[in-house]
Amino acid sequence: MKHNAYICVLGGIAAGFRSRRRTIIAAMAAMAVLPIDASDAGRLAHTAKSAPRHGKSPKHVSSPKRPTVKLAALGPVALHPSALKPAATTCDPSKFRIVLDVGHTAESEGAISARNVAEFVFNLRLAQRIEEKLKGEGFAETRLLVTEGKARPSLVKRVAAANNLHADLFLSIHHDAVPNSFLENWEFEGRKSHFSDRFSGYSVFVSRNNPDFETSLLFAELVGKEMKANGLQYAQQYSQAIMGRYQHPLLNKETGVYSYDKLIVLKSTRMPAVLLEAGSIINRDEELKMDSPERRDIISSGVTAAVKEFCDPRWAILGPP
Ligand SMILES: [Zn+2]
């Protein structure tokens, strides 16, 4: 179903489970040897009880990368105050290693845009631009992570690569689509295509099961704040019931940060991890914007500013502007 667009993050996995017995067997085999909770992929634990205990582990106490942050007003899901515990130390940009994970693979391309371009193509171009900007700002250890192979094994490979690189921060780059039930038909350049103009915008995801959830949230907030400061609006549909099993708890109604607790790349990475859905490529207007160098510049500058703020002690002292 190559040209069947789907919501980018979960869709590939969910579609595989629905339609291909071989995928199910392969995934079950993977689950036997790896700590993957695929059966829970569509079921999110929304209760505070399921969230990790914040600030208890020695790793959190000694983390050298977490500046102070004043979090904006929280949305529907309340967080324990200790999740926002400040730290006075900061990071050295020349040694700070951020892994930019290019979502999906050349073989398993993610969503298909309204004009039949693979999400992987959008993800790669944007991640490359972010890499350029970060390196230009002195973040010499920035690593672009391009993964090969099928969808699910690639998730495990990403996590292993980031862990082996001893990354300080993990940022996965994606572009959004919609569940199949929202798709409408049209023709683009004589070819039957699918679109949905109903939703648009970026969104930022973190997992409350990440071993350093509070730092993940801190960086996610900075990314969302920068997107907003650049005039972008977040995708609000993920908190709505119409999204069904794609619904996610909104952690901050100002910045568009959602939790996505079971996502492998966010929960199994041993460093703070954030996923950015940069914008919708199934929305016909927004696809054109996401395809433009100007929009890539805006988003990559925003991400770079967020990383700089994350590392900058002056920001930690002064607080958010
Ligand atoms: Zn994706």
What is the structure's pLDDT at 314?
A: 64
Q: Which residues of 289-310 are buried (b: 16+ CB within 10 A; e: fewer)?
A: bbbeeebbebbbbbbbbbbbbb
CA of 171 to the centre of ligand 1 (A): 13
Q: Parallel, antiparallel, or unpaired for β 273-280 and 203-206?
A: antiparallel
Kind and range of the H or E element at 210?
Answer: none
CA of 119 to the centre of ligand 1 (A): 7
CA of 273 to the centre of ligand 1 (A): 15
CA of 105 to the centre of ligand 1 (A): 10
CA of 127 to the centre of ligand 1 (A): 13
CA of 140 to the centre of ligand 1 (A): 26
* Single-letter residue type at 302: G
H helical segments located in the chain? 8-19, 21-33, 58-62, 119-136, 151-164, 213-229, 264-267, 284-290, 293-311, 313-318
CA of 172 to the centre of ligand 1 (A): 9
CA of 225 to the centre of ligand 1 (A): 21
- The CA dihedral of 232, 238, 243, 245, to the nearest 10 degrees, is 140
CA of 82 to the centre of ligand 1 (A): 31
Report the C-alpha gap between 236 and 254 in whole angstroms: 11
CA of 9 to the centre of ligand 1 (A): 4
CA of 266 to the centre of ligand 1 (A): 13
CA of 206 to the centre of ligand 1 (A): 15
CA of 228 to the centre of ligand 1 (A): 21
Angle between helices 151-164 and 8-19 (to 10 degrees): 130
CB 216 within 8 A of CB 270: no
CB 301 within 8 A of CB 133: yes
Q: Give residue for tokens 């997107």.
A: 227
Angle between helices 21-33 and 151-164 (to 10 degrees): 30
**pTM over the 0.85 mark:** no
CA of 319 to the centre of ligand 1 (A): 32
CA of 38 to the centre of ligand 1 (A): 17
* Residue among 225, 272, 231 nearest 73 (CA): 225
Angle between helices 213-229 and 293-311 (to 10 degrees): 140
Q: Give residue for tokens 């990559």.
A: 300
The one-digit pLDDT tens for each residue of the chain (321 residues) are 333 334 575 433 433 333 333 333 333 333 333 333 333 333 222 222 333 333 333 333 334 444 444 444 444 444 444 444 444 457 899 999 999 999 999 999 999 999 999 999 999 999 999 999 999 999 999 999 999 999 999 999 999 999 999 999 999 999 999 999 999 999 999 999 999 999 999 999 999 999 999 999 999 999 999 999 999 999 999 999 999 999 999 999 999 999 999 999 999 999 999 999 999 999 999 999 999 999 999 999 999 999 999 998 565 455 554
Give all strands of the β-sheet with 98-102 in edge-to-edge order.
Answer: 143-145, 98-102, 169-176, 273-280, 203-206, 257-259, 250-252
CB 164 within 8 A of CB 101: no
Q: Give residue for tokens 């708890």.
A: 249
